[in-house]
Every structure is written in structure tokens, then in C-alpha cells.
Amino acid sequence: MKGIGRKGLAALTATFAATLILSGCGSNNDGGNANGSNTASGNNAPATANNGGDAKANNAGNAADTGDTGAVDASKLEPYTIKWFVPGAAAQKDQALVNEEVSKYLKDKINASLDLEVIDWGSWDDKMNLKFASSEPFDILYTANWNGFTTKIAQGNIIDMTDLIDKYAPDAKSIIEPALLEGSKIDGKSYGLPINKEMASQYGVMLRKDLVDKYSIDITAIKTLEDLVPYFDMIKEKEPGVTPFYLNKDISLLNVYTKNNFDYFDEFAGSLAKGQTDFKLIDAYETPELKAGYDLIHSWYLKGYVNKDAATLQDLSGGLKAGKAFAYPEQLKPGKDAEVSTATGQQWVQVELTPPVVSTGDAQGSMDSISRTSKDPARALMFLNLLYTDKYLVNLIAFGIEGKHYVKVDDNTMDFPPGVTAQTSGYNLNQAWLFGNQFNDYLWKNEDPQKWEKFKTFNAAAQNSPLLGFTFDPSNVKTEVAAITNATKEFGPGLRTGTVDPNVYLPKFIDKLKAIGIDKVIAEEQKQLDAWRASK
């Protein structure tokens, strides 16, 4: 159940999403939506790929050492092009120009060029699976808990970066929040370098600000999803052409239900009901709490609140930019409304409906990993070390070329150049949560100058999930998990958008999950959870 934020504007960029639902940030375990991405098809990847990757890294990096850990002498390095894949709403018209500017800057730093490519969210999983299956050479890719992170590890498609980080990215390691570093590890090893950003996740809705102002809507009075109904009725009556609650096949109000009713939610295995002290995992689909969520969204669909194409719609961004939506569900953080406003050209306000919670999925919600097919993992880590420490570099990659894609208002604030908008800019990724250290990012003119301070407060105030640090390894039940993933792809979009009647289709879904072995998967997850708790 992604929202704009971690696929970043993951609803905006995940299908527009993440910004998940940005920064950030969606998670499968502990309340996010894996969306079927756990079953990457790169099954031909050799299981021994990690060792080869480490060996190549060590060999490539030796010539670069100058004595101090992490320091490199570019003159001793052979030229190298770093190939990097990230997901996004769409390829950027000026991507080649930005890559060229980055490459000029990197030459004297690590004698490297950058080839960054954005792959649209709708085809991200399939294209990356094909790249692994064909052993296409590339260096860096975006990874996340909800985007098949553990599957990529099990298949040997991404390498153990633990020693490489210590040797070639020590400055980045010193900057990243310790909780993010630890929470992103699998069995004590780092297979991804987490983006330094908000640590918690929180869900709610975005409302179009012009309509909030027009109808004097008091957003402080909206505490539950049900509180939205009178406003949906009003919009449906008075604003023809505007959908009260805009969804696509991946983005749903169910994130609010899972966060408010479960301390841990795994769409593909077991879940932990809120407040349980025995740590007994259950099938959430069989609970009245999740059924109530499906009932609510189905009732909204029948009332005409939800767009009719929600179950098949891939990308929210077009509808949001075109003013077709009054509200949509989103993963939130301080200033998320300003980020989405910049991305869409529409002004939005956010309404929080769950408390902020730090989970394993949040720590693993946005990471950079190294492909087993990288020909120089050491150089990739040298680049990432710069990305986390060099303010010019991270802003160049996140926002483009100063003077062309943005202009500085002051040292830390920017705006679009005269005559340029979010819609016409040749480089407007709006996914800064994909890159390095967000606390080095410039702020758009419409953003809160205290945004990064509020991020720190947000992180400090967040609750810890009781299963923070636990990651389920599906290796022993991968056949069943693959079948569950396929069943979720079949039933999920219709149920989570309210398009189908949950009284009819939820029992069918549950029966299918039982038949293909969800109880076996839950038992395996329970076994691992018990062992994890015993180790603590």
C-alpha cells in the first residue's frame, strides 16, 4: 500500500509513486506495501556473486588509497563511468545535461563520470529484474524494504557493502543516523546505504489547498478517515470534474488502517495486532480491522468518491497536476505538502491520521545498493561518500543545474527560474529522498525554512515499533511467497481501491492465500521472530 512518499513523492513518483506514499520513504514489514515486488525474477543470479563483487572492489580500490581511510587520489584511478538506476515518475528531458555536469565535477574528485537513468515506477520492477537476469553491468540501484530488498540479497543480486563502506565511504557512514544504519542491516551486514532523512513514517491525506480555502474547511477537526465524508459529499456536489478521493492501483487508505491497528503489518506473511504482548503473528486479512478498511473504501467507491479507473491506474501524477483530485492518501513527514505542491503545480495541505512510528521498513525505506554486476564497487562507494558529504553534488543531482533548473534565493533557498514551472522544467525529479544526505538539500521557496529542524524533532518524537530491527528472510518459503505475491497482484488493486465488494472477494482472496501456503509462511516468519526476540 504505497503512497506518494517512498516510491517519493512515491505516490507522485512511485506512481507518482513514493513520494510509498517521499522520503522517504514505504515499507512492507511494519506497515507498508510490498506491492508484489518481493518476487524479483532475477533467479539466474549466481549465489556466489557477493564474493566476486568484494574482490573486485578491493582490487579496484587499492590504487586509490592515499593512507587515510576514505581518501582517494584521482590521478591514480583509471577513468570509470558509474551507472546508476533510480525509479521516478518519468525520465527527465535534461537528464543528459545534468549527468554531464556531474561528470565534470567528479573528474577531479574520483576520475569518474555519471550515467544516472530514471526508470518509471510502473516498469521499474520488470526492467530491473531483466537487468539482473541478463547480468547487465551497472553499479548502483535504489533498494527498499518494500521493493524486494531481501529477495535481491537472497538471489545474490546486490553485494555485502559492510567492509566497502568502512574503507571507501567512512564520511558518509559518520553522517547517517546510527538508527538508520543499524536498522538497514541484515544479519549484521550492510547491503544498502540508507538515505539520511526522516526515520519515521506517518500516514494521512493530502487536500487541495484552494478547495480547503474556498469552503473554509477546518483541517484541524479531521482526526479520522470518516471525518472526510462530509467534505467528499460537498466536493462531489459542488465541484464537477473533481474526484473527492483519488487513488491508483497501489495507493490506498489501508495504510492508515494498518498503522492504527497493527504494530507490525506484513502484506505477504504475518502481522502483529496492536497492543499484543505475546508477539503472536496472525493473518491480517482475516481480522475485522482490515475488513473494516476494505468495507470503508468500497462504500466510498459506491458513493462515487473514488475515481472509476483506480484499480488500473498506474500513475497519480497526471490527475493531481490536472486538478482532478480533492484528496488522496499519502505517507507524510514535516513539509510533505510543500514538496507535493512543488511537484504538481497544485497547492496542497496535509492531514496526519496516524502517529509517527519508526520501523525496520523505515530504516530500509530508501537505500543505495551495489549491483553484483558492478565492475568497480569501490568507485561506486567513493561516489556515494561524496554524495553524502558534498552539498554541491547532492543538490546538482537532486535539483539540476543552477540557473537552468533552479535559481538561488539565498544560500539555502531556491525557486524556479523566470518562465520555468514545475511542469515545464527539464529536470524536476522531486525525489530528493533518493539521494545522499537530505539535510544538505536546498529548500524550495514555498518550504518551511525550519524544515530540517522539524525533521529532527519528528524523528525524536516518533514511537519505535516493537519489531524494530526484525527483517523476515523468505528464503525458506520463497515458492509460497511468490504465489502470495501473485495472488496479491490479482486481488489487491480491486480490494484496496474499493472497486470490488470485499464481502465477495476478500473471502476468495483468503481462500487462495490459504491454498497456496500463507500459514506456512506465517509459521516461518514466527520462527524467525521468536529467534530474533531471543537474541535480544
Mean pLDDT of 527-533: 95
The pLDDT tens digits of the residues spanning 7-32 come to 333 333 333 333 333 333 333 333 33
Report the alpha-carbon distance of residue 92 to residue 71 in Å, rounded.
33
Cβ neighbours, 10 Å, residue 18: 39
C-alpha distances out from residue 484 to 133, 266, 512, 516, Å: 22, 12, 8, 7
At residue 371, the pLDDT reads 98
What sign for the dihedral angle of Cα 526, 527, 532, 536?
positive
Cα separation, 403 vs 217, whole angstroms? 38
Angstrom distances, CA of residue 260 to CA of 37, 46, 164, 336, 466 = 24, 41, 39, 20, 14
Lowest mean pLDDT among 47-56, 179-188, 303-312, 324-333: 47-56
Three-state SS across 94-159?
CHHHHHHHHHHHHHHHHCEEEEEEEEEHHHHHHHHHHHHHCCCCCCEEEECHHHCHHHHHHCCCEC
Backbone angles phi, psi at 53, to 5 degrees: -65, -40
Q: What is the pLDDT of residue 361?
A: 81
388-to-25, 115, 439, 459, 473 alpha-carbon distances in Å: 17, 18, 9, 19, 29
Give residue 5's pLDDT band: very low, low, confident or very high (50, 70, 90): very low
At residue 71, the pLDDT reads 62
Kind of pairing, strands 367-370 and 140-143?
A: antiparallel
Cβ neighbours around 76 below 10 Å, total: 12
- Grid coordinates in use for 185? 542491516
Could you count the other beta carbons within 10 Å of the beta carbon of residue 508?
13
Q: Please tell me what DSSP assigns to residue 65.
A: B
The sign of the dihedral angle between the CA atoms of 324, 247, 293, 9 is negative
Q: CB under 8 Å to 312, separation ≥6 — which residues?
A: 249, 493
| Residue bearing cell 552539498 | 391
Residue among 70, 38, 16, 107 at smallest CA distance from 342: 16
What is the percent of the chain with per-residue pLDDT over 90, rounded to a whole number?
A: 66
Q: List the CATH code of the domain at 49-198+363-391.
A: 3.40.190.10
Cell of 102: 556531474
Taking residues 192-196, report their average pLDDT: 94
- Length of the chain, in residues: 536
* Domain residue extents for the chain: 49-198+363-391
